[in-house]
Structure 1
Amino acid sequence: MKKLLCVAAIGLALTTTYAMAKDSRELNHNFAVSGASQLDIDFPVGSLEVESYDGSEVVVTVRIEPKNDNSWFSSDVDLSDIELSHSQSASSLSLKLDNDDIQQNWHVKMPKSMAIDVELGVGDIEINDASNSVEIELGVGAVRIDSALDDYKRIELDTGVGDTKIRGLKNDGNTSRKVVSSHSSYRGNGQYDIEVEVGVGDIKVTN
């Protein structure tokens, strides 16, 4: 009897796990942006990974799922009704998914010729092979920027609670700390700027 109960429990766990795994959805979009100079991204909760490449399209994959509310049962959020909002002009592409009831995990490929501006409430941001200007405003989380460039015109990193670091660029960065806050700055002869502001969390820029 105990063996049967154990098998039944395992079966229930597997069924529940499968149902939870299926309770997600992917949004996939390609945007032709030949000539556009800036990409704007805005969402409340989740993660963002960005990579630059030699191309003329912004390729976006967003995996969405209900927030973890410690429930093993289905969420009331209808993922089928959720769509990515976007607007495009000759100079910019703006992407937004303003829904506080879901967790969002973004993966974005963008042309090296585009600057990026991100606003995120809570989560982590990782930008790889940064080749242009970057501006980020994050409430709570961490920002890591791995740059393909070894010099910038200006870098300003500010966190209310956490650490800021600039490493591996042509010139040395300056870091000052005050109790729990941190500020790092950089001046060079590069063409682009990086400006990051985080409420609570760490910021790192490296080459």
Structure 2
Amino acid sequence: MKPVLTAVTLATILMAMPALAEERTLSQTFAYQGETLYLDVGVGEVEIEAVDGDEVAVEVVLTPSNAGWIFGSNTDFGDVEISPKITEGKRMVLSLNDNDDLKEQWRIKLPAKAAVSVDMGVGRIATSGLDNSLEIDLGVGEVQINHSHDYGSISLHSGVGEVNFIRNGQQQQVSQTLVSQSFQSQSGGSGKLKVEVGVGEVGIEQL
């Protein structure tokens, strides 16, 4: 019986190993001075929420992108940090100094008046309450935007997937080809909302 018990015990340990995967949380707070926030992410999730005040609060939870494999991960992210910089045109660029083999979970709280641009490879992006221009370029995944702002220009596109736009409770008509969907509109509002997804879904709800 001992070999059987040993095998069962070993199997139990191996099954539990993914739950023991490392993670690391980074956080920083910046004074907002009118910059456009530009976020560069590889793989993971981004949540952006508009709040009162004049600060940008950033939290990033890092986990190995291969944490689900049975033997865990040997990814070393002890030296990974948030790398903020101000570029020409008053852009605050936020990214990691090294994101190889990492899954990034960004949580950002910032003033509603901030303009935001997100460039992401694979994952999910969700925003709520923003009142300025918002541009998103996502390779594969899902975008969900909830807002009440009257944008002057709206451009939504999914190369392979769906675009859903609900305005004041009404489903808006989208253009469709064989595999892609898009929506375009112009109005007397301010700023622009532009979302490009290579493969995946775009969901917009304007209250």
Taking structure 1 as the reference length, what is the TM-score of the superposition?
Answer: 0.86
Deviations 1:121-162 (A, max 9, x none): 11110011122110011110111100032x211100011101
124-133 vs 63-72, greater mean Cα deviation: 63-72
Structure 2 residue aligned with 1:195: 194
Q: Secondary structure at the match of 2:188?
A: coil
Structure 1: any 5+ residue segments left out of the alignment?
A: none
In the TM superposition, structure 1's runs of 4+ consecutive aligned residues that sit over 4 Å from their partners are 1-7, 169-174
**Alignment correspondent of 1:143:** 143
- Output aligned runs, 1:44-193, within 5 Å: 44-68=42-66, 70-88=68-86, 91-97=90-96, 98-149=98-149, 151-169=150-168, 173-193=172-192
Which consecutive residues of structure 2, in runs of 5 or more, have no partner in the other structure?
Answer: none
Matched residues, percent identical?
34
Q: Does 1:28 align with 2:27?
A: yes
RMSD: 2.6
1:16 alignment partner, SS class: helix
Residue 4 of structure 1: how far off its partner (Å):
5.6
**Structure 1 residue corresponding to 2:36, chosen from 38, 54, 58:** 38
In structure 2, how many angstroms separate the alpha carbons of the residues matched to 1:15 and 1:167? Answer: 43
Contact conserved, 2:158 with 2:202, CA < 8 A, in 1? yes
Deviations 1:73-122 (A, max 9, x none): 34232111111111036933110125231111111101111010000011
Q: Tell whether the 8 Å contact from 1:156 to 1:184 is kept in structure 2 after alignment.
A: yes
Give the TM-score, by structure 2 length. 0.86
Number of equivalent positions: 203
Supply the distance in 1 between the matched residues of 2:203 and 2:47 (Cα, whole angstroms): 15
* 1:38 CA displacement: 0.9
* Matched residue type, 1:187: Q
**Partner amino acid, structure 2, of 1:31:** F
